[in-house]
Amino acid sequence: MSRRHPSLIRVSAILVLLGAGVGAGVGANEARADEPLSQAGEGDTRAPRFASQLDTSWVLEDVIDAHGFRIERYGQRFEGLRVEGASAVVRARRDGVVDRVRTSSPVRAGTTIPSFVVRTPARDAIEAAIARTDVGFAIASIDASEPVLATASPFDDAPRLVLAHRVTVRSASRAEVASVLLEDGTLRVLRVEVLTHDARGLVYLRNSVSDDGMTTEVELPHQTDPGSLTNEAFTVRSCVVSAGGACTPTAHALPDMDGNFLLAPEPASFEDGFAEVMAFHHANLLADRLEADHGFRWSCPLGDDSMRIFPNFTDAPGRAYANAAFVPSTRDECGYLIFGQSGMQDFASDADVVYHELGHAVTDQLAHIVGFGVDSLGLHYDPLAVNEGTSDYWAATTQGDPHVGESLQGIDGLGRSAALRDLDGGLRCPDDLFGEGHFDGRIWAGTFWDLRTELGAEKVDALLFATVASLTTNPSLRAAGETAASTADGLAEMGTLTSADATRVREVLGARGLLDCQRITPLDDGEQRGAFSGLAILTGGLGNDVAPVHYSLEIPADARSATIEVTPGTLIGQYAVLARHGQPVGFRGPSIQRDQRDDVGHGGAVTYHGTDPAFVPCTTLYFAIESTDLDRGETIFLVQASVERSGDPSARCPDPVPDAGPPDATVPSDAFDVPDAGMGGGMTGGGCGCRVVTSTSEPRGLVGLAAIALALFARARRRRAPRRRGVHARRRRGGNVTAHTLAQAHGAYDRVHG
Q: What are the tens digits of pLDDT across the range 7-47?
A: 222 222 222 222 222 222 333 333 333 333 333 333 333 44
How many CA atoms are closer than 13 Å to the CA of 559, on its beta-carbon side? 24
Please report the pLDDT score of residue 191 as a whole number.
84
626: CB partners within 8 A, 6+ apart: 544, 545, 546, 547, 575, 576, 577, 578, 597
Cα torsion for 272, 273, 275, 281, to the nearest 10°? 180
pLDDT digits (tens, 9 = 90+) for 49-76: 666 678 888 999 989 999 999 999 999 9
The alpha helices in 264-421, defined as continuous H runs, are 273-294, 351-367, 382-399
Please report the pLDDT score of residue 5 as a whole number.
26
More confident residue, 298 or 686: 298
Distances in Å between the alpha carbon of 361 and those of 118, 229, 296, 686?
A: 33, 20, 11, 6
pLDDT value at 450 more than 80: yes
Please report the pLDDT score of residue 272 as a whole number.
93
Q: What letter would DSSP give residue 619?
A: S
63-82 as b/e: b if 16+ CB within 10 A = bbbbbbbbbbbbbbbeeebb
Q: Kindly state the average pLDDT of the residues 188-203.
A: 62
Angstrom distance (rounded) from CA 259 to CA 282:
20
pLDDT value at 635 more than 80: yes
pLDDT digits (tens, 9 = 90+) for 586-607: 988 778 999 999 999 999 999 9
Please report the pLDDT score of residue 416 as a whole number.
55
The alpha helices in 318-456, defined as continuous H runs, are 351-367, 382-399, 437-455
More confident residue, 674 or 541: 541
Task: Break the chain down into helix, strand, coil percent, rounded to 5.
Answer: 20, 25, 55
Q: Kindly state the average pLDDT of the residues 268-277.
A: 93
Please report the pLDDT score of residue 527 as a whole number.
84
Please report the pLDDT score of residue 411 as a whole number.
62
Which amino acid belongs to residue 161? L
pLDDT value at 575 more than 90: yes
Give the pLDDT band of residue 728 (cuts 50, 70, 90): very low
Task: Judge contact between 183 and 166, C-beta under 8 A.
Answer: no
pLDDT value at 648 more than 80: yes
How many other CB atoms are there within 10 angstroms of residue 666's CB atom? 9
Residue 201: its H or E element: none
Give the pLDDT band of residue 135 (cuts 50, 70, 90): confident
Task: Judge contact between 273 and 215, C-beta under 8 A.
Answer: no
Q: Kindly state the average pLDDT of the residues 647-656.
A: 87
Q: What letter would DSSP give residue 22?
A: -
pLDDT value at 199 more than 60: no
pLDDT value at 441 more than 90: yes
Reported pTM: 0.76
Phi, psi angle pair for 363, to nearest 5°: -60, -40
More confident residue, 407 or 575: 575
More confident residue, 251 or 209: 251
Q: Kindly state the average pLDDT of the residues 278-283.
A: 93
pLDDT digits (tens, 9 = 90+) for 286-315: 999 999 999 999 999 888 889 999 999 998
Q: Kindly state the average pLDDT of the residues 507-524.
A: 96
pLDDT digits (tens, 9 = 90+) for 202-231: 346 787 878 888 788 888 877 877 778 888
